[in-house]
Structure 1
């Protein structure tokens, strides 16, 4: 047996390679036509034959294609004389790791959507889309806040009550909630600017409007409202939100809520959730 015939026997036909890597023969023909993967040899009957290096290149193409790169760019990457095979593998590993992270985040989001669909009695039309959330609550709305709330309060009576009420909300209901909260925050900022003092009748009225807004989601006692108000000065995200309407609004609103609670027999220092 000649050296040439032995080499030919160690190589694979286009059909064998197609089955091995999971692509069609037509795809391999196309890749050869555009110069992406060219078979290294030909049989005596002029069939394409692929060696181990050819198959390795096909696998690299498949990985880059899975990552979303166009074939032209894949060809430029693979033919770059400054990049050796090990660097290709490192690059592919890093790109795959990033893709895995993105897919994991996507899978988590899908799980949340499944939960929301279940919570809304298998009627996804009652759930808000990302576009609806941005339109209703503003572009700074972060869906991750819902996950954080679930971690902190999931399983509590208030959370269950909130989920049950949210399940009955229509898009119009959510728009009404957002509009009412926007109006309330504007009135709070106006009162602060006018020098309204915590504990005054006007301040107490605003505190009650605030409590009623929360009460649309779950029962909110004056004690619960006090505990929620603590976050307005202790969590920088809440502080930034309220102070964007008027500097110092977060601290003032906390004081307003605490003074109103005192008027209803609740000591803010010993306030309890239930």
Structure 2
């Protein structure tokens, strides 16, 4: 509470320091008639009395709990104002803001975890969704290898909003694509044919679940699928020679879009 013993004759600057409000705010409250100083010096400077300071203190209290200036004016000047009702309404708004902030905090936690871990699933969930051949170390390895890239950031942003059901849908889509690739190779589908190009486009669409994939980037992935022992073993485990066939249909599709697979880069 303000000390009335020395309050009479306080300047705007002194009141600003005492109450922790800006001089600009005090001038504004004066201009709108919310809190006018009762005294003036001979030179016309504002001076606040103990009563003025008491009113200002009450304004500051109500401002700190989020009431608007019009609401504060009604509480201070209208004897019929429903003060408890106004405060209850403000409490409701505060509770709603707290709820929004808690949800924001939870979202930030998930985003941080996604950037650091990549996959926000338990070991049990990963095994159930991706199958027994899934290696729990793969997300951490990907983070170490690609964590400073734009694609990792895009992947993390998508991962933060996904739960087990969304990941299951992606896993099912990949399984379906790999089955279709194997069947197409068995059926003698040739690179550059409409059927092969459709599979390449399907791959790009599914891969967009992780991050946007350009045709040049897809060519680079095709090379990796064939050359990397882990990826090659995976695709060749579906059908013997599938890794090379998959790379060839990606290259043929790229050529049809004016891209030279031999010079394509990750861009």
State which structure, 1 or 2, has the greater radius of gyration over its C-alpha atoms. 2
Alpha-carbon shift at residue 116 of structure 1 (Å): 8.3
CA distance in 1, matches of 2:145, 2:111: 21
1:200-220, Cα deviation, whole Å (9 max, x unpaired)? 110000001111111111010
Give the equivalent residue in structure 1 for 2:202.
209
Provide runs of 4+ in structure 1 moved above 2 Å.
115-122
CA distance in 1, matches of 2:226, 2:146: 19
Give the equivalent residue in structure 2 for 1:18.
none
CA contact (8 A) 2:192 2:253 kept: yes
**Aligned match for 2:156, one of 150, 163, 178:** 163
CA distance in 2, matches of 1:261, 1:121: 32
Residue 247 (structure 1) aligned with residue 240 (structure 2) = yes
SS in structure 2 opposite 1:271? coil
Number of residue pairs matched?
A: 158
Residues 31-70 of structure 1: pairs in structure 2 closer than 5 A: none
Give the equivalent residue in structure 2 for 1:256.
249
Give the equivalent residue in structure 2 for 1:266.
259
Alpha-carbon shift at residue 118 of structure 1 (Å): 5.4
Give the equivalent residue in structure 2 for 1:132.
125
CA distance in 1, matches of 2:150, 2:120: 21
Alpha-carbon shift at residue 120 of structure 1 (Å): 4.8
- CA 1:121–1:132: 2 relative to 1, 3 Å: closer
**Aligned match for 2:180, one of 187, 198, 203:** 187
CA contact (8 A) 2:200 2:250 kept: yes
- CA 1:176–1:116: 2 relative to 1, 3 Å: farther
CA distance in 2, matches of 1:173, 1:116: 19
**What's the C-alpha RMSD, in Å, of the aligned pairs?**
2.2
Which 5+ residue runs of structure 1 have no aligned equivalent? 1-114
CA distance in 2, matches of 1:151, 1:182: 26
**Aligned match for 1:150, one of 134, 138, 143:** 143
CA contact (8 A) 1:120 1:168 kept: no
- CA 1:127–1:148: 2 relative to 1, 3 Å: closer
1:129-161, Cα deviation, whole Å (9 max, x unpaired)? 111101111111112222222222111111100
CA distance in 1, matches of 2:120, 2:204: 25
TM-score (norm 2): 0.56
Which 5+ residue runs of structure 2 have no aligned equivalent? 1-107
1:159-185, Cα deviation, whole Å (9 max, x unpaired)? 100000111112110000000000000
Alpha-carbon shift at residue 121 of structure 1 (Å): 7.9
**Aligned match for 1:225, one of 213, 218, 221:** 218
Alpha-carbon shift at residue 127 of structure 1 (Å): 2.1
Give the equivalent residue in structure 2 for 1:54.
none
